[in-house]
Amino acid sequence: MVIKGEVIHGAQLGRKMGFPTANIDARDIKVDNGVYYSQVQLDGRLYNAMSNIGLRPSVDGQTRLLETHIFGFAGDLYGRVIEVDLRLKIRDERRFASIEELQRQLERDAALCNPEL
């Protein structure tokens, strides 16, 4: 499923954990919550990515977001419209006991989503 939207500011928690994300408002998107292997095309290049769509229960999220970490990309996407292709769901969204536990899971998810790591 391809989701297109404008990149908005978030709490920058992903950046603090080593996984900066491009965030898109997902309140009206009809897809199951969870973590996905995804791909994003930017400036003529296709990037592997990992995306979470949902409420982010480990950080008490209130608004449903699509958060996408784009492997190998460094730059400012705020205000740009991007397309995220959710290719394969790798797990359900869930609450973690701590930020450290969430970060360890993100590292495992990243290894599944980008074998080049």
Assess whether pLDDT exceeds 80 at residue 28: yes
Give the pLDDT confidence score for residue 64 in this predicted structure.
Answer: 92
**Cα-only R_g, the chain:** 13
Assess whether pLDDT exceeds 80 at residue 115: no
Q: What is the mean pLDDT of residues 77-93?
A: 96
Q: Read off the tokens for 20.
A: 């900066």
Q: What is the mean pLDDT of residues 46-64?
A: 87
Q: Which domain holds residue 69?
A: 2-113
- Which CATH number fits the domain that encloses residue 49? 2.40.30.30
Task: List the beta bridge partners of residue 7.
Answer: none
Assess whether pLDDT exceeds 90 at residue 67: yes
Confidence of residue 117 (pLDDT cuts 50, 70, 90): low
Give the pLDDT confidence score for residue 53 in this predicted structure.
Answer: 95
In the chain, the number of structural domains is: 1
Question: Which residues, 6 or more positions from 4, have their beta carbon under 8 angstroms from its beta carbon?
Answer: 81, 82, 83, 84
Q: What is the mean pLDDT of residues 63-90?
A: 95
CB 27 within 8 A of CB 64: yes
Task: List the beta bridge partners of residue 83.
Answer: 4
